[in-house]
Amino acid sequence: MPASEFQLIERHFARLGAARADVLLGVGDDCALLQVPADRQLAVSIDTLVEGTHFFPGVDPESLGHKALAVNLSDLAAMGAEPAWVTLALTLPRVDEPWLAGFCRGFARLAARHQVQLVGGDTTRGPLSISVQVHGFVEPGRALRRDQAQAGDQVYVTGSLGDAGLALLAAGGGYDAGDRLAALQQQLDWPQPRISVGQALRPLCRCAIDISDGLLADLGHICEKSHLGATLRQAALPLSEAVADYVRATGDWSIPLAAGDDYELCLVVPAEHQAEVGRIARTLDVPLTLIGQMEPGAGIRCIDAAGNPVSDLQGGYDHFRNT
């Protein structure tokens, strides 16, 4: 490997994020050596972002570094896991140090915030692509799994729905969001993984998912894996003012229900814990909203304020199920 690549690794990746005592050997050898606590299971997930597919060419490298880690931490959040380590495989078209410095700044700030250390990776030349693998800890048997919902459980969602989707629609010229565009863009470019929510609710909860592919698709995964259906109350869905305006103006609920890239959590909690969930919700840094419940059967129904099924949504969901 040319010396410049060693220098690149030393300069940008050798000390990135938290400095953790359970990293016995980090960046610099053939492998990292990591100590998993004796009383924990390891939760592992990987996600790849490809230029032109997952992000626009020319996007701010700092937000890209943030997002590449955030989408992975979101998967740990959805398991109720505590983040620990991360590896990074970067394919770069050329060595662009200012770009790399910006990327690492965004990545490192989020890593430090969640006590995550970069422990290894790979750097190659080619079309811009970023693979991040995260590792976290969870108490044995206590991970939040998609197949653990029960009929009667209540369905909660964090944050608000559809902001990233509306930002994408606006960026493509499909909607004029006016002076709300910047706030929407913020949600798209700087998603905040809901680590604290997954951990705070894990004692009460057996089942969660992150809604990276949109609420209907991802809650649909819980329905399928748990062999259940769900009913959502449309009027209860948490919407930002921008998305509420959009829905009022267009009647199109597909943005909050089916657009992806929100990285909020959908959590399924036994109804007996409702009061306790409410108490915990007041301590969280993000809204947590009760939007529906799990029930016997299959598929997702949406009902309006009067309790009547919202017919045009059914088609949207079926369409999604078949993709």
Residue 77: closest CA among 285, 293, 228, 295 = 285
Q: Are strands 129-138 and 82-92 parallel, antiparallel or unpaired?
A: antiparallel
* Residue 95 C-beta: closest distance to ligand ADP, Å: 12
- By CB under 5 A, tell whether 276 contacts Mg ion: no
* Residue 306 C-beta: closest distance to Mg ion, Å: 60
CA–CA distance, 218 with 75 (Å, rounded to integer): 12
Task: Specify whether the CB–CB gap between 73 and 193 falls below 8 A.
Answer: yes
The span of 63-71, 122-130, 133-141, 151-159 binding Mg ion (CB under 5 A) equals: 122-130
Interface size with ligand ADP, residues (CB under 6 A): 14
* 309 φ/ψ sector (left φ>0, alpha ψ -120 to 50, else beta): beta
Helix H or strand E segment including 133: strand 129-138
Interface size with Mg ion, residues (CB under 5 A): 1
* Residue 69 C-beta: closest distance to ligand ADP, Å: 12
Per-residue tokens: 14: 């050798």
CA–CA distance, 183 with 181 (Å, rounded to integer): 6
- By CB under 5 A, tell whether 122 contacts Mg ion: yes
Task: Specify whether the CB–CB gap between 130 and 90 falls below 8 A.
Answer: yes
* Residue 32 C-beta: closest distance to Mg ion, Å: 12
97 φ, ψ to 5°? -65, -40
Q: Which residues contact 315 (CB under 8 A, 6 or more apart)?
A: none
Q: Which of 64, 90, 208, 259 binds ligand ADP (CB under 6 A)?
A: 90
Could you tell me the CA-to-CA distances from 299 to 164, 271, 320 in Å, in that order?
Answer: 25, 20, 11
Cβ closest to ligand ADP, residue 85 vs residue 175:
85
Cβ closest to ligand ADP, residue 89 vs residue 183:
89
The span of 21-29, 139-147, 171-179, 289-297 binding ligand ADP (CB under 6 A) equals: 21-29
Position of minimal CB gap to ligand ADP: 121
The span of 26-34, 58-66, 190-198, 252-260 binding ligand ADP (CB under 6 A) equals: 26-34
- By CB under 6 A, tell whether 13 contacts ligand ADP: yes
Rounded-to-5 percentages of helix, strand, coil across the chain: 40, 25, 35
Say which entry of Mg ion, ligand ADP, none residue 29 contacts (CB below 5 to 8 A, set by partner kind). ligand ADP
What residues between 233 and 272 interact with ligand ADP by CB under 6 A? none
- By CB under 6 A, tell whether 30 contacts ligand ADP: yes
Q: Which of 43, 118, 243, 265 binds ligand ADP (CB under 6 A)?
A: 118
- By CB under 6 A, tell whether 116 contacts ligand ADP: no
* Residue 27 C-beta: closest distance to ligand ADP, Å: 4
CA–CA distance, 7 with 40 (Å, rounded to integer): 36
For residue 226, how many C-alpha atoms fall within 13 Å in the half-sphere facing its CB?
Answer: 30
- By CB under 6 A, tell whether 111 contacts ligand ADP: no
- By CB under 6 A, tell whether 132 contacts ligand ADP: no
* Residue 181 C-beta: closest distance to ligand ADP, Å: 33
Residue 151: closest CA among 63, 318, 270 = 270
Per-residue tokens: 147: 């197949």
User: Which residues in this chain contact ligand ADP in the complex, by CB under 6 A?
Assistant: 1, 9, 13, 27-30, 88, 90, 118, 120-123
